[in-house]
Structure formats: structure tokens, C-alpha cells
Copies of this chain bind each other. A is one copy, B any other.
Amino acid sequence: MPEASTAKGRATQARIVEGAAEVLREQGVAFTTLDDIRDRTRTSKSQLFHYFPGGKDELLLAVARFEAERVLEDQQPHLDCLDSWESWYRWRDAVVERYELQNDQCPLGSLFLQVGRSEPGARAIAAELMRQWQERIAEGIRTLRARELIPASVDADRNAAALLAGIQGGVSIMMSTGSSAHLKAALDTGIDQLRHAAAGAGQAEVK
């Protein structure tokens, strides 16, 4: 994605990415054509290919990057200050609300399935997003540990990984069933597990 060299050009390029993201959220990747994007963004074919010489794939990748950024932003400021039990619950509510609003539209998941196999770039975006997301959660757990709200024996990375998996799964189940029950269950039991560790012994050591 070569940078546009004038202000007008940059504005157009941004309009394309944002508009494309909208259309993709509404219709899904499989059913979205360049003409749909062209209509929505009030551009022409030549503009699309001018700013994304690689064609549709390159544009989809740009949208994926755009959406990936939003994912963590939408969880702020909660995600970056997981320092008390109240803050964890505020974060939980923010996550649930974000995905309930978005309902059955999971731009990233479907984008990756479309571009995924062909473009190694898409995998990298997804992997990096997961890495960062998990790291913030783990940091929150370490903060709890530092404040002695939970014992030092709690494995921050493993718990963060499990929590992240629960969120992902919760969201994808919501996409097929329309219910956020699983997402809530995953978040609640995940946080409960941390609180529970505070009361009882350390993490289980089995296996």
C-alpha cells in the first residue's frame, strides 16, 4: 500500500479503507465486490487500483489492519488498567458491549478466511493482534499479583491465553447463535478463576 503523496490523496485512501470496512462488516467478505466499495466510498475503479495496486487482496489486507487496530482501542481505557477487581469487571462489560453491538459481524474472522491462505500477511496481522491482546491481559494479572490480590503462583501467561481463547470462542459462538451467553460465561469464569485463586491455594498443578 504505497502512501499517497498529497493531502487529497491520503484523504481518499483513508475514505476507501474506512468505507470498505463498513461494507465488509455489513455484507461479509464473501458477498462484497469492488463495485460495492466503489459506491460506498464515492470513488472509481481507477482510484481503488491507484491506491491499492495489488487489487482486492491488498485492499482487504489494509482493512484487516484497520480493523485489528480498532479491536484493542475499543477496549480502552479498561484494558490498560486492569489493577483492581472493579476494573476487571469494567473491562468485561466493555468487551461484551462491543461485541453485542457488533452482533454477528466479525470482520476480522471472515477477512482472514478469505485472504488467509493466500496471503501470509493476514496471518501475521492476526497473530500480532492476539499477541498484544494476550500481553495486556497478562500484564493485568501481573498487576494483581504485585498488589497481592492473587498469589504469586498464578501463571499469568497461561491464564491470559485461556481468557483470550474464551473471548474468541465466545464471539464466534455468538456469531452462529446470536447469543452472548458463552462470551459472558467465558469472561466470568475466567475472572472468577483468578478471584478464586486469591481465596484458596495456588493454581492447580495437575498434569
Contact = CB atoms under 8 A, between A and B. Distances in A.
Given A113-B28, A169-B169, A172-B172, A192 B164 contact: no
Given A193-B193, A200-B196, A162 B166 contact: yes
Main secondary structure of the interface of A (DSSP, over half): helix
B186 A162 contact: yes
A81 interface: no
Given A162-B182, A165-B183, A193-B189, A130 B177 contact: yes
A143 to B, nearest CB: 18
Contacts of A116: 28, 175-176
Interface string A116-146: 1110000100110010000000000000000
Contacts of A189: 158-159, 162, 190, 193
A30 B168 contact: no
B168 A172 contact: yes
A185 B165 contact: yes
Interface residues of A, number: 58
B31 A176 contact: no
Interface string A171-207: 1110111100111011011111101110111011011
Given A30-B113, A166-B186, A196-B196, 9 more contacts: A29-B113, A31-B118, A158-B189, A162-B166, A162-B182, A165-B165, A165-B182, A192-B203, A192-B204
15 contacts: A27-B117, A28-B117, A89-B207, A109-B109, A127-B176, A130-B176, A161-B182, A165-B169, A166-B166, A168-B173, A172-B172, A191-B206, A192-B206, A193-B193, A193-B196
Interface of A: 27-31, 85, 89, 109-110, 112-114, 116-118, 123, 126-127, 130, 158-159, 161-162, 164-173, 175-178, 181-183, 185-186, 188-193, 195-197, 199-201, 203-204, 206-207
